Structure 1
Amino acid sequence: MRSSGDHAARSSHRWRKRQLRETKDRTQGMVTRRAFIDATSAVGATALLGTTPAAATTAPPAAGVTHAEARARDAIRAANVGMRASYAALKSELSTRLSPVIVVQNDATGGRFTLIRDGSPPETTCPVPELFELAKSISHVPQGLFSILAAYVSDTVPNLPNASRIDPHDLDMVAFKGPGSVDWIGPLQEYATTLTTARRQLVHANLPKELELSCRKILDESLTFIRDSVRNETFDMASFTRFSAATYPSIRTNMEYAASAQISGVEGLMRKWRATVGDEQWKDLYTVVLSIWTTSELNQASIIIRRCMNPAKVATHLIDLSTVEIPRDPIFVALDNLARIVLDNVSAEMVLPTDPVVADAFKGKEDLLSVEILRQLGGPAGAPATPASATESACPLLGKKTRPPV
């Protein structure tokens, strides 16, 4: 007789599989390799769908290609289509079996965390105290002002201490309207109304005194800058940088409070979930953190979570997944990509057992042909011009720097 635990595990597995199937077609923003349907031949596509090549309607061969050559090339393509179909089926099944997994969706409130494990439905919570969102909200005010004014600044790099760090072409792209217009006044005044309300209500928010004072300083400096700019019907980067420099110490204070709130919230949740999962399963925990590209490295959630994971596996089991935008279904996106990563980690060592360097490229973020392309291009000359980090090691194939095995 099967136990109730077995029944719960099977029910959870069926629930997860159904959820993944139902959301797959409507999910956007997945970070996966090119879909296998792209550029497949008519013969390959029909073979994938279960019909015979003879029944397929093929386009006339390209100029200079005989019908025999076209048929042979379609047959070659069909082999790849068959592989991709098998791979997709295995990955889809694997994505329903991964456990335990934590999925983190970064947001303005400190993150939405979901625990997925066999035998239980997913558990989702937002663990970070509200102080995180409040402190960051006021810290973002200078960026809000700049977002209104940026299109109207001069496209000439200003005389600032950090002028050499500003790309002139980037500035030209951002300053697409230039300083000849005062259309910024209306939006700036509207934002001032929002800031005035926040400043008036600040005392009632029951914030820690130091945080309240820093928020007040940021809001007061912002409203003063807006008042002077509107009154004079002009602004420049010199006046804006004076304003932003005056707010920076207070922004640092807000950052301290936001970071402390997030650490306490996330670490508290990790302790709770570790007790729920048990130490034996926790040591094999996968964590997928979804974030947009600009926050995908040294991501705040990842920094905290890695301290709570098994140190021996954190390098391979903590996945920072960069997305174009926040996906509609973060759970499907996370599990789909995690399944691909886990599958590639295993298949790389079994399919390419005699070449660890190429296997590492298959397992990591590199394209499988990256090592060979670098070799043919002469190494760094064809590689992105980024400095090697302290964690990189010499590639035995090229004698150059490359990422270490994951």
Structure 2
Amino acid sequence: AGAPRPCGPPTAAPAGARRSGAADAERQARDAIRAANVGMRASYAALKSELIHRLSPVIVVQNDPTGGRFTLIRDGHPHESVTPVPELFELAKSISHVPQGIFSILAAYLSDKVPHLPGTGRIDPHDLDMVAFEGPRSTGWIDPLHRYAATLTTARRQLGDAHLPQRLEDACGKILDLALAFIRDAVRSGGFDMASFEAFSAQAYPSIRTNMRYAAAAQISGVEGLLRGWRETLGEKAWKDLYTVVLSIWTTSERNQASIIIRRCMHPAKVATHLIDLPTAEVPHDPVFVALDNLARIVQDNVSAEMVFPTDPTVADAFKGKEDLLSVEILGQLGARAGTPAASPSPASACPVRRGS
């Protein structure tokens, strides 16, 4: 016979075991909730992956120093990739960038005190303090400035052989001459300041404007010529539905030069939704994939937003636009409506950071 069984009611589990069991159940329940989102993301990614290969027609623009590489996509695959902007664009901009090149060498050695000069009131003192990290006591700028001067001297000496339009050649020569004179004076005196640099850049600016006019004209003619050809290739029906994705770094993502030109050539009714300026942290390794991957998200969100939130157009607009989906609710809880500052945020939602803290 087996061992005798104890009489009476079953013994309750120890309190520690009950707490452990409850914690396990809570963790499993929360993991089950997360699994719903994991499943959504998997199905979302699958739809996007399939859509990437069906997007058509699409123009992908990768901004670069030559005026941009333009790629025409048909049925998810590159059809043609072209750098359409004449070389004059790159040459004019190259010399226009000389003052910026000098500044980039000298910036770390500036004084971190904002001087009383025209325009310097627009400089944030903290920004200046971050940039001028070496300070004026060091002469570490002299050797790199010497090397850059050698580069500029070669460009000046050979400028005539580039066969530029005369007005552009004159403007480039003026910029180079002023730059070399500034470098010579700075090295000779062993110092520089904001006043001397601003005087140099102000003298160079009219010639820079001349270069900008040549660069802009070259880009407009090159891009518009390419788009006319692609429009004929695609036909009017396909051109009406054209998507364009312009990749750029953040500092050139608003009123981007390529976007301005393309906007005039696209179907007016589609520009607002089909011309996409896509800021990137840096130039991507595979710009076409990055563009199509983002475009696929945008296109499927445009449709799903209206079907998932058919009763709330404001939230649907946030879902398919640049806003975060929670932005409308967050602004509401902070006491503001989308796009307007909070008039009187409630105490519970006021920023917890106190003045002077």
Distance in 1 (alpha carbons) for counterparts of 2:205 and 2:78: 45
Number of the residue aligned with 1:326:
283
Q: Distance in 1 between matches of 2:79 and 2:217?
A: 27
Q: Does 1:213 align with 2:213?
A: no
> Which residue of 203, 223, 232 corresponds with 2:189?
232
What does 1:251-400 align with in structure 2 at a 5 Å threshold? 251-379=208-336
Task: Give 2:116's aligned residue.
Answer: 159
**Partner residue of 2:198 out of 241, 247, 261:** 241
Distance 2:340 2:144 in 1: 44
Name the CA distance, whole Å, in 1 between partners of 2:94 and 2:118.
28
1:124 paired with 2:81, answer: yes
Contact preservation (8 Å) 2:52, 2:76: no
> Partner of 2:37 in structure 1?
80
Partner of 1:394: none
Seen in structure 2, the aligned counterparts of structure 1 residues 231 and 383 have a Cα distance that, compared at 3 Å, is farther
- Could you tell me which runs of 5 or more consecutive residues in structure 1 were left unpaired when the two chains were aligned: 1-61, 386-406
* Count of residues paired in the alignment: 324
Distance 1:316 1:215, change over 3 A: same
The residue aligned with 2:355 is none
TM-score by length of 1: 0.78
Separation of aligned partners in 2, 1:253 and 1:274: 32
Structure 2 stretches lacking a partner, 5+ long: 1-18, 343-357
Identity of aligned residues (%): 78
1:159 CA displacement: 1.3
Question: How far apart are the structure 2 equivalents of 1:280 and 1:262?
Answer: 27
Match of 1:179 among 119, 136, 140: 136
The 1-side partners of 2:37 and 2:261 are apart by 41
The answer to whether structure 1 residue 109 and structure 2 residue 75 are counterparts is no
Secondary structure of 2:147's aligned partner: helix
Amino acid at match of 2:73: I
Which residue identity is paired with 1:185? I
Look up the equivalent residue of 2:140 and give its one-letter code. Answer: D
CA distance, structure 2, for counterparts of residue 295 and residue 258 of structure 1? 16
The answer (yes or no) to whether the contact 2:328–2:337 under 8 Å persists in 1 is: no
Match of 1:204 among 152, 158, 161: 161
| TM-score in terms of structure 2 length | 0.88
- State how far apart, in whole Å, the 1-side matches of 2:294 and 2:78 are: 20
Cα distance 1:161–1:67, how it changes in 2: closer, same or farther (>3 A)? same
| Aligned-partner Cα distance in 1 for 2:268–2:21 | 59
Alignment deviations for residues 233-264 of structure 1 (CA, whole Å, 9 cap, x no partner): 01011000000000000000000000000000
Look up the equivalent residue of 1:142 and give its one-letter code. Answer: P
Determine if the alignment matches structure 1 residue 141 to structure 2 residue 98.
yes
Question: Alignment RMSD, CA only?
Answer: 1.9
Q: Distance in 1 between matches of 2:30 and 2:71?
A: 46
2:9 maps to: none
Which range moves more in the overlay, 155-164 or 355-364? Answer: 155-164
Q: Which has the larger radius of gyration?
A: 2
Q: Distance in 2 between matches of 1:65 and 1:331?
A: 50
Cα contact 2:56–2:76 (8 A) shared by 1: no
Distance 1:371 1:329 in 2: 34
Q: Deviations over 1:109-162 (max 9, x none)?
A: 000000011397521010000000000000000000000000000000121121
After superposition, the Cα gap between the structure-2 partners of 1:362 and 1:65, relative to the gap in structure 1 and judged at 3 Å, is: farther
SS in 2 for 1:328: coil
Letter paired with 1:132: F
Query: Partner amino acid for 2:328?
Result: V
**Kept in 1: contact 2:246–2:277 (CA 8 A):** yes
* Residues in 2 aligned to 1:229 and 1:113: alpha-carbon distance in whole angstroms: 42
Asked whether the equivalents of residues 53 and 77 of structure 2 are also in contact (C-alpha less than 8 Å), the reply is: no
Q: Is the 8 A contact 2:48 2:300 kept in 1?
A: yes
Are 1:67 and 2:20 matched, yes or no?
A: no
After superposition, the Cα gap between the structure-2 partners of 1:360 and 1:261, relative to the gap in structure 1 and judged at 3 Å, is same
Structure 1 residue aligned with 2:353: none
Say whether the 8 Å CA contact 2:58–2:244 is kept in structure 1.
Answer: yes
Q: What is the alpha-carbon distance in structure 2 between the residues aligned to residue 119 and residue 321 of structure 1? A: 18
Structure 1 residues 329-387: Cα deviation after superposition (integer angstroms, max 9, x where no partner): 001000000000001011000100100101110011110000000000111799889xx
Residues 332 and 120 from structure 1, CA distance in 2 versus in 1: closer, same or farther, beyond 3 angstroms? closer
Q: Which residue of 2 aligns with 1:37?
A: none
Q: In structure 2, how many angstroms separate the alpha carbons of the residues matched to 1:214 and 1:121? A: 39
